[in-house]
Chains A and B, each alone.
Chain A
Amino acid sequence: MSAPTRDGGPRAPSRAARLLRSRTTHGFFFTAPLLVLFAAFVIYPMAFGIYYALDADSYRALFSDPTFRQTVVNTLWYVGFAVNLKLVLALLLSGILDFPFVWIRVLAALFLIPWAVPALPGILSFRWMLNSQWGIFNHLLSKFGLASVPWLAQHDTALGAVMIFHIWKYLPFWTIIFLAGRRAIPNELYEATAIDGASPVQNFFYVTFPLLRNLYLICTLLSMVFTLGDFTVPWLMTGGAPGDSTHVLATLAYRYTFAMGRLEWGLATFAVALPVTLGFIGLLLRWVKI
């Protein structure tokens, strides 16, 4: 077999090498459109952004800006707290939606509506409900003789509204992800624990969670990275108001760049989050395969 065949038999090294070479050409040909898109609109803007963000003066300016420091705190709340609360709720809810009753299936279908409705209409609805004069929440409060709350006009409740909306909008998506993960667990495992008389709580901690742990970790990383760059929800819910106190990184970068004309500050704002983002992406690249 190792003897070289004249004219290149099917297994001859030269032929194999040529085949590989031609496959590489083919591979390149078929992935070229993707590579061109990624090079032009991902790699190049990224390099451009990093180049402009290298100026140390920008960071000095950012860290001496109280709005920026407040923004970092807001972003940590948004990404650290809201995302994780959402995912814990999604994991628990997926257990409820996994019950094999017909009406649960109807419930699961209705539960998906916030995911299907684009963010903007949902945000508008929330904003009108939270309106301090005409909103339904303050209307109810006044009916019970309570003082009305300026929901979107004070920092805590405005940031809370952003987080609540995030959970409302994205909880369904992650719930069906976990639901699909649960359905991939072989039923025999639960049959085995049923013989041992395991309670639902024991089932969750000894069977379900260990098997979903990897999925849960990947989803946490993904959702945190996505939310770290979220612009739409905070921008449309509060626009940073009141007094620029509810910005997150993306909305503050927008304000620096387009309202104040400080491009390098806008890019530096993202660059601050870049090490964490790249770390998360590095982990994901190791764990997820395409």
Chain B
Amino acid sequence: MGEDLSAPGRRKRRGLHIGLSLVAIVLLGWTLFPVYYMLLLSFTRTDDLFQPGFYVDHPTVKNYTYTMGQENPFVRYFWHQIGNSLVVALWAMALVAAVAALGSFAMARMKFRFRRFVSGLTLFTYVIPSSFLAIPFFKMMADYDLIDTKLSLILAMTTFASPYALWVLSDYARSLPPEIEEAGAIDGAGTLATFFHLYLPLIRPPLIAIGTYAFLYAWNEYLYALLLLTGEPRVTLPVAMSNFLTTDNAPWNLLMAVSTVYAIPPVVLYYCFKRYLVSGLVSGAVSGT
């Protein structure tokens, strides 16, 4: 401590701060500029779109009012599409929470024979890129005549978001005291009653977090939504946005307004649940070795 008060110590500290500041400036420019540029374009008038610059001369909210009022052919089904995204994400959230809550109870609180098998299969599903399974999945849904239904997309999202959810929940559940089952046994409650009355209330915080994870997973999904849904009023928002790109004169300022609206829910949720969205990976990787 005393060292830092000496002149060379202070100079060293100053040098450290200057070095860090330089890194910080580069890092912030790199990180924020694309986001700033998206916002900038969303407030740009169509007349100014073809004069690139670092700020807007005549900012306008027209792109947002057009989007909200569905007043442009490109955003004619905006509310339908955002609604589709929302419905799929909410269903994925509910199903993943249910499946992972049940699974984690077994994985963390019971010893049963094929536990390792379940754990291996879960990890396999987590790791295998979902795109590897997309074409057979599409074929399967076509065979069952489920193409163009939200159900097919919800099933896919539930499957691919479950492993991480199970991982985080089991990890949390393992840290709970063993008294849960004992209390249940004293009350003469069966396993199912123990699960509902004692276990579920205790895992509520991570359950909300992994529900959010599933919501975000489905909200951000592009490939499966592109494959499984067709028709302007029925697609989710990202698919609708990428359809803008197939035309030659896409209204980029409008597109950026839609982008901004689309990005707001995830940004808010990521910042609220940041801790839970990485904890599983870290604890799994650190404790697993």
Residues of A within 8 A of B (CB): 20, 23-24, 26-31, 33-35, 37-38, 41-42, 44-46, 48-49, 52, 93, 96, 99, 101, 103-104, 107, 109-122, 124-129, 133-136, 139, 168, 172-173, 176-177, 180-181, 184, 214-215, 218-219, 222, 225-226, 228-232, 235-236, 250, 253, 257-258, 263, 266-267, 270, 273-274, 277, 280-281, 284-285, 287-290
Contact = CB atoms under 8 A, between A and B. Distances in A.
Contacts of A26: 106, 110, 112, 191
B143 to A, nearest CB: 10
Contacts of A215: 282, 285-286, 289
Contact of B271 (A52, A116, A258): A116
A93 B27 contact: yes
B149 interface: no
A81 to B, nearest CB: 18
B128 A277 contact: yes
Contacts of B41: 125, 128
B49 interface: yes
A284 B123 contact: yes
A110 B260 contact: no
B228 to A, nearest CB: 12
B140 to A, nearest CB: 6
A219 B289 CA distance: 13
A34 B162 contact: yes
Nearest to A118: B220
A128 B37 contact: yes
A20 to B, nearest CB: 8
B177 interface: no
A38 B270 contact: no
Contacts of B129: 225-226, 228-230, 250, 277
Contacts of B37: 125, 128-129, 136
A126 B34 contact: yes
Contacts of A96: 20, 23
* Consensus secondary structure, chain B interface: helix
18 contacts: A24-B113, A29-B106, A34-B102, A37-B159, A41-B137, A52-B136, A109-B271, A112-B271, A117-B263, A119-B222, A120-B222, A121-B263, A128-B252, A180-B282, A250-B129, A257-B135, A270-B131, A290-B107
A168 B28 CA distance: 11
A281 B163 CA distance: 14
Given A27-B115, A231-B222, 13 more contacts: A24-B113, A31-B107, A38-B122, A42-B133, A110-B31, A117-B266, A124-B259, A135-B52, A230-B129, A253-B131, A267-B136, A288-B288, A289-B287
Contacts of A46: 128, 132-133, 136
Contacts of B23: 96
A125 B130 contact: no
Given A44-B140, A107-B28, A290-B166, A34 B112 contact: no
A181 B286 contact: yes
A125 B256 contact: yes
A22 to B, nearest CB: 9
Contacts of A218: 285, 288-289
Contacts of B266: 116-118
B10 interface: no
A120 B241 contact: yes
Interface residues of B, number: 94
Nearest to A165: B34
Nearest to B118: A31
Given A23-B111, A38-B122, A124 B155 contact: no
Contacts of B284: 288-290
A116 B267 contact: yes
B91 interface: no
A290 B30 contact: no
B193 interface: no
A270 B3 CA distance: 60
A170 to B, nearest CB: 12
Contacts of B279: 180
Contacts of A231: 131, 134, 222-223
* Residue among A34, A115, A263 having the largest count of chain B Cβ atoms under 10 Å: A34
* A-B pairs, 7 with minimum CB distance: A229-B129, A27-B112, A45-B136, A121-B259, A116-B270, A30-B106, A214-B289
Contact of A290 (B20, B105, B119): B119
Nearest to B137: A45
Contact of B241 (A20, A114, A124, A290): A124
B262 interface: yes
